[in-house]
Amino acid sequence: MARCSYCGASESLPFTCKFCGGKFCAEHRLPENHDCQGLAVYKETRGKEPEKWIYEPFRAEEQEAPRGGRVQEVLGRLTLRHALYTLLALLILLMLLRSFL
Ligand SMILES: [Zn+2]
Ligand SMILES: [Zn+2]
């Protein structure tokens, strides 16, 4: 459990500010909402292109756990299931053929 550096509210998934590195609640995640020191410095160095800033913070958990691996795992299981069903169908067909002959 982390706490918002600005208002002190406890957050299970705090937002990390790119500019000052602080942890904030959903309400104070944007630099303007927590009187961000890092943003002021960034504005001075960046200056001319304010529209191009991307300062939407990220949730730490989302960055650390890519989801591609899990999807591939599920797909792998699906094809294995399909293979098993196909094998079962073939066996039944074989047994039917045998009973006819
Ligand atoms: Zn807060
Ligand atoms: Zn900040």
Summarised one tens digit per residue, pLDDT across range 62-101 is 555 556 667 777 777 778 888 999 999 999 999 999 987 7
Give the domain range for residue 86: 66-101
Task: State the pLDDT confidence band at 47, using cuts at 50, 70 and 90.
Answer: low
Which two tokens mark 85? 């069903």
Q: How far is the CA of 48 from the centre of ligand 2 (A)?
A: 20
Q: Which ligand is nearest to the CA of 17?
A: 2
Alpha helix ranges (H) inside 47-67: 60-64
Q: How far is the CA of 5 from the centre of ligand 1 (A)?
A: 7
Whether residues 28 and 59 share a domain: the answer is yes
Whether residues 53 and 29 share a domain: the answer is yes
Whether residues 49 and 92 share a domain: the answer is no
Whether residues 55 and 94 share a domain: the answer is no
pTM: 0.43
Q: How far is the CA of 62 from the centre of ligand 1 (A)?
A: 20
User: What are φ and ψ of residue 94, in 5° steps?
Assistant: -65, -45
